[in-house]
Structure 1
Amino acid sequence: MKSYLAAAIQMTSQPDLEKNLVQAEELIDLAVRQGAELVGLPENFPFLGLEEDKIAQAEAIAQASEKFLKTMAQRYQVTILGGGFPVPVGDGKVYNTALLIDHNGKELARYEKVHLFDVNVPDGNTYRESNTVMAGLKLPPVYHSQTLGTVGLSVCYDVRFPELYRHLAHQGADIMFVPAAFTAYTGKDHWQVLLQARAIENTCYVIAPAQTGRHYATRQTHGHAMIIDPWGTILADAGDQPGIAIAEINPTRLEQVRRQMPSLQHRVFV
């Protein structure tokens, strides 16, 4: 593993596949021009609209998203995480799928979100992800890269389930992706502290691409795409507008923190 720059992209995706992919490419281009070698896109990056519209267009969104990720990775010669897009599984449902693609356009890892957001938020909004999404059945994968380190995948609501990240750490993860479309209401209180907790307890870098702003009707997201180091320090925060958070992933810093705080070696229950 070497030192390199990673970028967490922040978008305001709409119910418009083509416009979203244009926005995503502009932000990938910005990240690469600033030197990023590992780039993450947020959950719902290609489409964020009503659930019935998502299901009606799911096949087209899935095909376009996978093609887009492979094209971008090859064009810009970077490794890209597509942080969540619908992949049809039949019976009117989809997997919420995250895909990691290398600079040759090769699929490195695929994860189907296991924790579904079925929540009555205190602001009056109700979310039932399970109405249209089928929960994945497998723990998230890690990908071992000699140059980028060991990268673990997760998606949004997963961040509230620390056992998932402990699994990633047990598999050797140095970097954990948490692409999200966190609600504005919960995000203001929980987003940052949950990300820092996952980084601190696993002494890992956390890269958290995010959605921000208003997408349709009452759907509003928190923003603040972040990169956090293994000590829990926020290295970059994209604020509340579309853009990028970019920071260095440094193996020396990772080793230093793990030497100073060897908590992973002190686990009693594995």
Structure 2
Amino acid sequence: MNTIRVASCQIDIDIDNPESIRASMISSVKAAADAGASLIVLPELATSGYCFADQAEATRRSEVIPGKWTTFLQEMSREFQIVLVSGISEISEEGVLFSSAIILDNGHLLGTYRKTHLWNTEKQFFEQGNHLPTIFTTSVGKISVAICYDIEFPEVVRIAAEMGAEVLTAPVNWPKNPRPSDSWPIEIFKAMAHAAEYRLPIVIADRCGEERGTDWIGGSIIIGKDGYPLSGPHIKTPSVPEIWVADVEVNSNSRISPDNDAFLDRRVDLYFEK
């Protein structure tokens, strides 16, 4: 059985204090690496915060990739000899903003993914990416990336699995919304279902605390390919920093039973009838 030790770093992102963000990243990534994790995920927009006052602030907190934040994250990836995935606020050379994620392998920038499904007020600041998640061949295996609202669409998870992803990483910022007091947030159940449907482990890194009146769930979780949690979540009010580590089983076997296959059983001849 092939496994990868992965980690989800749930940090408190102080939008007005970049040095605090850097300190939180360093301490959490170090702890995860010390625990043996070779693939580590940080939250969505981890470098900038989320609740921008206006477009000018969003632009000011963004960077052309590679920039200073990219360099900082590269240095961490190199120092701890890990694959690191982090959300980042990107500004293109044309001045367009994207909620993006960068993928780093032992200090090398492998690529960037731009969020394709924007949630609520994100549409005021960002443009949507126009390319579905791809596969990044890393030192630990084939990794794909989706961001927050992306993973609520089963097609995104399915396409990543069909392309051969061994692990799907998901930086998120999940705001707290009303739910039954004895229940996990619905976003977690959706992710668990999609992982099971397509036999694909998912590593979700959420943020915690509060930002400008928005409370964050703190729903970080590592989900195995059977859809069950391997580590996390620990839903608290208020949410607090956490580090979740687990060994995920990776292979491209989509068999569910001796006579069932997660992909081959799909009746695409019926699904697209007009």
TM range, smaller chain: 0.7 to 0.9
Question: In 2, Cα distance between the equivalents of 1:66 and 1:91?
Answer: 19
1:219 aligns with 214
Percent identity for Structure 1 against Structure 2: 22
Match of 1:123 in 2: none
Residue 99 of structure 2 is matched in structure 1 by: 96
Structure 2 partner of 1:108: 110
Residue in structure 1 matched with residue 174 of structure 2 by the alignment: 182
Instruction: Describe the SS at the equivalent of 2:240.
Output: coil
Q: From 63, 78, 83, give the equivalent of 2:82.
A: 78
Opposite residue 269 of structure 1, the aligned amino acid is V
Q: TM-score of the superposition, structure 2-length normalised? A: 0.85
Contact 1:14 1:49 in 2 (8 A): no
Partner of 2:71: 67
Equivalent residues of 1:2, 1:148 under 8 A apart = no
Using the alignment, how far apart are the partners of 1:47 and 1:39 within structure 2?
A: 19
| Residues 144-165 of structure 1: per-residue CA shift (max 9 Å, x gap) | 34x5332111000112211111
Residue of structure 1 aligned with 2:59, choices 55, 59, 63: 55
In 2: Cα distance, 1:173 partner to 1:60 partner: 27
**Aligned residues, how many?**
256
Counterpart check, 1:139 vs 2:132: yes
Match of 1:155 among 127, 147, 153: 147
The answer to whether the 8 A contact 2:102-2:111 is kept is yes
CA distance 1:257–1:20, change in 2 (3 Å): farther
Change (3 A) 1:256 1:61: closer
Matched, 1:203 2:199: yes
- SS of alignment partner, residue 100 of structure 1: strand
Distance between the aligned counterparts of 2:201 and 2:178, measured in 1?
A: 23
Which segments of 5 or more consecutive residues in structure 2 lack a partner in the other structure? 270-274
SS of residue in 1 equivalent to 2:79: helix
Residue of structure 2 in register with 1:248 after alignment: 247
| Alignment RMSD | 2.4
Partner AA of 2:98 in structure 1: Y
Tell me if structure 2 keeps the 8 A contact 1:80–1:102: yes
The answer to whether the 8 Å contact 2:99/2:114 transfers is yes
Encode CA deviations 1:45-79: one digit per residue, 9 max, x unaligned. Answer: 11215423232232389722211221011000011
> 1:117 — aligned with what?
119
Structure 1 gap ranges (5+) = 119-127
Match of residue 45 from structure 1: 46
Structure 1 consecutive aligned stretches of length 4 or more whose deviation exceeds 6 Å: none
Q: TM-score, normalised by structure 1?
A: 0.86
- Report the equivalent of 2:30: 29
Q: Which residue of 2 aligns with 1:168?
A: 160
Counterpart for residue 11 of structure 1: 11
Offset of residue 143 of structure 1: 1.6
Secondary structure at the residue paired with 2:268?
coil
Higher-helix-fraction structure: 1
Secondary structure at the counterpart of residue 265 of structure 1 = coil
Counterpart of 1:228 in structure 2 is: 223
Shift of 1:112: 0.4
Seen in structure 2, the aligned counterparts of structure 1 residues 185 and 174 have a Cα distance that, compared at 3 Å, is same
